[in-house]
Amino acid sequence: MTRRFENRTAAVVGGGSGMGRSISLRLADEGAHVYVADLGADAAEAVAKEIVAAGGSAVAQQVDATDNDSLRALFDRVRDERGVLHALHAQVGMPGPAGLEVSDEQWATNVDVNVKSAYYTCTLGFDLLKAAGGTGSITMTSSTSALVGSPFSPIYSLTKGALVPFSRSLALNGAPDGVRVNVVCPGTVHTPMLAQFFGREPGADVSELTKDFVGGIPLGRGAQPEEVAAVIAFLLSDDASYVTGVTIPVDGGLTAK
């Protein structure tokens, strides 16, 4: 394993499970001191302990990414303990309700989780990334539904789609200070959240729905979270030092059709 993040500081917001966990582990494996931030305090602590047990460096912090004060507490801690942030990943997201009938409460929740959390994760941590002296980098997880549309949940496409132009604007804003910003759009990824995407309707046969969907992926399978983490690690590293404002599908060829 390369050590592209040796002596660097990283924060993964939504790092306690699924893709976020794999991203936290990958950055730590490559030498980063990782702040594992998650709504679930126990989940964040478990990932941090896993990193330390493997010889890495990490701490856990309970964070509600829809609460700006909670996010500020995370970045205040990073500032007090490290003084700088080199790599920041915004992972938080949720599947939206199926169909067009979305209540006011569902609308607000989806916008908060999928849009507000990403916006403020990136902007509240921006000064710490600027302090990295040209090596600061941000990544966000969107979805292939931001690129091709979701026939199942238009609100999911709407909210995840917002991250694509946001990343471009933020990349332009950060360029004078050497802060890069990029987005990945995973397709089907085998994480604990996968069943929520295919099981919105009560009584749905999730295994059959997943099988049918994966059959339409050119590579013939869903991704493992480690495969998404590898792309994130590249984008956050100096290997991608001239890559900013781009959106990369990690989807087995789904959006190439």
Of 240, 224, 137, 238, which Cα lies nearest the Cα of 186?
224
The tens digit of pLDDT for each residue in 196-235 reads: 554 445 455 555 556 666 778 999 888 999 999 999 999 9
Domain-embedded: residue 141: yes
Averaged pLDDT, 148-162: 91
Residue 219 lies in a domain: no
Whether 257 is in a domain gets the answer no
Residue 195 has pLDDT above 60, yes or no: no
Beta bridge partners of 89: 12, 139
Residue-number span of the structural domain to which 30 is assigned: 9-190+225-249
Alpha carbon distance 61, 15 (integer Å): 10
Q: Give the model confidence (pLDDT) of 46-91 as tens digits.
A: 999 999 999 999 999 999 999 999 999 999 999 999 999 999 999 9
Structure tokens at 210: 């997943």
State how many domains the chain has.
Answer: 1
Considering the candidates 35, 119, 120, 156, report the single residue annotated as catalytic. Answer: 156
User: Does any domain span residue 238?
Assistant: yes
Q: What mean pLDDT is reported for the chain?
A: 92
Residue 121 placed within a domain:
yes
> Considering the entire predicted model, what is its pTM?
0.92
- Whether the pLDDT of residue 18 is over 70: the answer is yes
242 is catalytic: no
Res 215: pLDDT: 76
Is 204 among the domain residues?
no
Is 28 in a helix, a strand, or coil? helix
Is the separation of the CB atoms in 50 and 42 below 8 Å?
A: no
Q: Quick one: pLDDT at residue 152?
A: 84
**Residue 211 domain flag:** no
The reply to whether 170 falls in a domain is yes
Residue 94 above 70 pLDDT?
Answer: yes
CB-based burial, 157-189: b 16+ in 10 Å, e otherwise: bbbbbbbbebbbebbeebeeebbbbbbbbbbbb
The angle subtended at Cα 69 by Cα 84 and Cα 75, nearest 5°, is 10
CATH number assigned to the domain comprising residue 161: 3.40.50.720
In the chain, which ranges are E strands?
9-13, 33-38, 57-62, 87-90, 137-141, 180-186, 247-250
- CA-CA distance, 177 to 186, in Å (whole number)? 28
CA–CA separation, 244 vs 247, rounded Å?
A: 9
